Amino acid sequence: MPGDYTFMVKGSNNDEVWNEIPVTLRIHVKPPFWKTWWAIAIYIFILSLFIYIVLKIRDERIHIKNQLKFEQLAREKEHELNESNIQFFTNISHEFRTPLSLIIAPLESMISLAGAKIKDQLIVIYRNAERLLQLTNNLLDFRKLEDGKLILQVQKGDLLNLLNEVSTFFKITAKSRNIDFDIESSASSVCGWFDHEKLETILLNILSNAFKNTPDNGKIRILVNADPNHQTNEKDFDTEMSYSNLIEISIINSGPGIAPEDLPNIFDKFYQTKSSGSKNKGTGIGLALTKGLVELHRGKIWVNSVPDVETCFAFSLPIGKMHLKRMKLYMNRKTLLKRPSLKTSNM
């Protein structure tokens, strides 16, 4: 045992005479190292550190739990706000749709009967009214897309013809703003199976976005890659598809471009870019709907941008019929309704 001890010794001679005063030896036994004061100090320090770490971990877990709860509440709030926005836009769209249809119907008759002098003005009115109707239909389609109720109505057609039709909507704007607007295609025609109205919406939305963000005297190019030898595995689009041809359409416009921090969210619903260079702020629905319609066709869409140089929105679609077999769709065998002749006397 550790402590102070005294060892005493008495001795005697041959006559057995003992000394009266014993010889003493003081002995000090040191404690083992684990019982020293500095060892006890280390124990106290380790225990204190352990308690501190436990409390720190507990506080960190509480903080993370509260943060996750806050983020969950924020997501729920955002979802509720998005739902209310979508419902509001849907209600407005229903209100606008009927009067716009009533405006367009007599305009079609007036255009076919009008003389050359007034026909140009009627065509401008018709195109703008039809564009408004297209925007209201976009909102209604977006609601259906969100609910998973949007169904393709496909038929065989020439995608290049459709692209040329859609581009005519923007030629007056391009001319008035001195924008160099042209289409470059690797083929004279591209036949495939697609939903005419939905593909038209895709093209209108991307082109509208391009014209909105292109300065006067700028440039917009549409590149169509329809090489019949260009094949890809449709497993990229659907997990059980075989090989099929693709068409790739790229719409490139000069302008301020899109900031790198905006690119990952550009197709999110209700997202608006934070870059100050954009003069016209939209509703944040057009590109989200466009992405949904491309994916409904089992296609892919992407965007690349170089700030202050150009932006490229591109999408690819399978133009065969194999990818449609497992989809819920309506095979529209009727011919498409033709618009009235929009050829102007001065164009």
User: Residue 88 corresponds to which tokens in the numbers above?
Assistant: 């509001």
Percent above pLDDT 70 for the chain: 85
| Residue in 199, 114, 122, 215 with CA at minimum distance from that of residue 153 | 199
Q: CB of 223 within 8 A of CB of 249?
A: yes
Q: What is the pTM of this model?
A: 0.65
Question: Which residues, at least 6 apart from 137, have a Cβ–Cβ distance to it below 8 Å?
Answer: 93, 97, 201
- 3-12, 63-72, 120-129, 233-242: range with lowest mean pLDDT: 233-242
Asked if residue 54 has pLDDT above 90, the reply is yes
Phi, psi of 80 (to 5 degrees): -65, -40
Domain ranges of the chain: 152-331
- Amino acid 206 reads I
Mean per-residue pLDDT over the chain, rounded = 81
Asked if residue 59 has pLDDT above 60, the reply is yes
The H or E element that residue 150 is part of is none
Q: Which residue has the tokens 């393709």?
A: 152
Domain 152-331 has CATH 3.30.465.10: no
User: Residue 315 corresponds to which tokens in the numbers above?
Assistant: 């999408």
Asked if residue 346 has pLDDT above 50, the reply is no
Percent above pLDDT 90 for the chain: 30
Q: CB of 213 within 8 A of CB of 255?
A: yes
Q: Give 306's strand partners.
A: 310
Q: What pLDDT, on the 0 to 100 scale, is given for residue 148?
A: 79
How sure is the predictor about 229, in pLDDT bands with cuts at 50, 70 and 90? low
Asked if residue 332 has pLDDT above 60, the reply is no
Question: In the predicted model, what is the mean pLDDT of residues 18-39?
Answer: 83
Asked if residue 280 has pLDDT above 80, the reply is no
Kindly tell me the sign of the dihedral angle through the C-alpha atoms of 271, 275, 278, 281. Answer: positive
Over residues 151-165, the pLDDT tens digits come to: 888 888 999 999 998
In angstroms, rounded to a whole number, what is the distance separating the alpha carbons of residues 82 and 92?
A: 15
Secondary structure class of 324 (helix, strand, coil): helix
Q: CB of 243 within 8 A of CB of 235?
A: no
